[in-house]
Structure 1
C-alpha cells in the first residue's frame, strides 16, 4: 500500500507542475585576473578557534594571487586595529603596497581605520558580494590547508595550535602548488625553500655563483622564466576549473519564444 501511494503521488501531474522547486539561475564561473606580482592580495580571518596559552583565538591570513604565496599570524582579537597592523607589518613593509585587496563584508574590514589605511596607500578594496561567494576562495582554501597541517601536531587540549602555525606556513609555501606547479616561495623570493631532508644531504656551504652580479643576472632570468611558465599553467588551470564548474552548475534563465 505504501509503495502504491508513493507511486501515485510521484505520478501526479498537478503536483509535479505546481510544486516543483524552481531552478536557480547560476552564472558561469569567471576567473579573477591575477595582475602583476603583489598587485592583488586576498585577506580573511579564521576563528574563533580554541584559545591558546598565549591568548590567541584568530588567524589573519593574506594570499598573493599571482604566486599563491601566503602570510599569516595568530591574534587574540578580531579587530580593525589588528588587521591594519597585520597589513602593514606582514604585507606592506615586506612586499610593498598592493594595488587591490580582496576581503569580505565583515565589520572590521569596513571600519574607518581600515578604510583610512587603504585610502592612504591608494589601494582598491574589493568586497565579497552575495552573487560572487567564491571571491575569497583562495584564502579560504589556505585556511583549510593550515588547519589540516596543524591538526596533526596539536595536543588534546588544542591550546598550542599557534605554536605550529609558522611550521604550517613554511610547509605551504615550500610545497608545489597544484595551480601553477611551482613553490609559492620560488615565485615570490626567487628560490626554493630547503626542507630538513635537503639539509641532511648537504654538509657544507655551497658557492654556485662567483659574484653577486652573476647571481643577480641568473636570479632575474630564472624568475622571468618561472613566472612565465606559472602564468601559462595558471590560465590552463582556471580554464579547466571553469569548464568543470559550468558543466555541472550553470543554469541559464528561461528562454521565452513566441507562441
Structure 2
C-alpha cells in the first residue's frame, strides 16, 4: 500500500492507437473499474463502442455500465492471455520503470505511475510505427532530452489552417499505422499457423476431454489436468465452445486449443497437455511483447 492508500493499478488501452490511460486505486472491484471507465475514459474521450474487460471483473455493475454506454462487451476466455496482451504489456513496462525510481519503502509507486504512462504514450510502437500519442492526439510528446536543449516555438497561424494540418497529419499517420498493423498481423498469423498443433474440427454433440490445469498451493505436476469427458453443446464464436461435463453437469466455455477428442489415448494426454501449456507460454510472451522502447 502506498502513502495515499493505493494498492492496485487499473489500465485501459485503445487497441487501435495503443494509447494508455492508467490510475492507481485502493481497491480492485467492479465499482472501482466503473468509476475509472466513466471518469478517465468516457468523460475525456467519449463512450467506447466496444470494451474488453477481464473476466474476474464481470458482474452486475459492469453489465449496467456497458448497457448505459450502448457498448459491446468482449470477455476473454480463461487461460488465453493474448486478448489482453496489450494491457499485460503495459503492466510489465510500468513495473520495470517504477522499480528504478521507487523508494526503499516502496510506498510511493503511485507517484511515478503517470510518468510511466507519459513515457509509454510517447514511445514509438513496433506494430504501428508511431507513438500512441501521435495517433490519438495528432502530435508527438516532448521527451526529457528535448527539454535539455533550447527549441524554437512556431506560430500555429489561423485556427482553420491549424485544424486542416492536424486532420491531414492524423489521417496520414492512421493510414500508415493501419498498413503497419496489417503487416504485423500477417506476421503473427504466420507465426501462429506455423505452431498450430492440430486441425481437429469439433461438432455439436461430440465428446471431448477438457484441459483444466489444477492451480493452488501444494499442486504438483502429477496432478490430473484433464476433465471429462464432456459433450459439446454449442459454438460461442472465436474458436470457443460451450461444453457440459458428463460427470458433474458443469457448463464451461473453452477455447478449442484446450480440447481434444475423447478418442485420444489416455497415455497420450499428459504429453498433449505439456505441449499445449508450453505453446501458451510462448504465445503469451509473443502477445505481450508489443511495445516500443521507453524514452
> Which TM-score applies when normalising by structure 1?
0.74
**What are the within-5 Å matches in structure 2 for residues 165-184 of structure 1?**
165-184=113-132
Give the one of 245, 248, 251 matched to 2:195. 248
Large movers: runs of 4+ above 2 Å: 130-133, 199-206, 248-254
Tell me how far apart the structure 2 counterparts of residues 69 and 151 of structure 1 sit (CA, whole Å): 22
Contact conserved, 2:3 with 2:107, CA < 8 A, in 1? yes
**What are the within-5 Å matches in structure 2 for residues 154-169 of structure 1?**
154-169=102-117
Report the equivalent of 1:28: none
Question: Using CA pairs below 8 Å that are at least 6 residues apart, which structure has the higher relative contact order?
Answer: 1
The alignment partner of 1:72 has SS state of: strand
Give the one of 50, 53, 66 matched to 1:103. 53
1:54 aligns with 2:4: yes
Contact conserved, 2:55 with 2:78, CA < 8 A, in 1? no
Tell me how far apart the structure 1 counterparts of residues 163 and 197 of structure 2 sit (CA, whole Å): 48
Report the equivalent of 2:185: 238
Structure 1 unaligned regions, length at least 5: 1-50, 255-259
Report the equivalent of 2:89: 141
The alignment partner of 2:28 has SS state of: coil
Residues 200-224 of structure 1: per-residue CA shift (max 9 Å, x gap):
33355331x3211111000010000
Structure 2 unaligned regions, length at least 5: 202-295
Report the equivalent of 1:215: 162
Calculate the aligned-residue CA RMSD, in Å: 1.6
Report the equivalent of 2:265: none
Q: Give the structure with higher Rg (CA).
A: 1
Structure with the largest fraction of strand: 2
Q: What is the total number of aligned residue pairs between the two structures?
A: 201
**What are the within-5 Å matches in structure 2 for residues 1-259 of structure 1?**
51-106=1-56, 109-130=57-78, 132-203=80-151, 205-207=153-155, 209-253=156-200
Tell me how far apart the structure 1 counterparts of residues 101 and 152 of structure 2 sit (CA, whole Å): 31
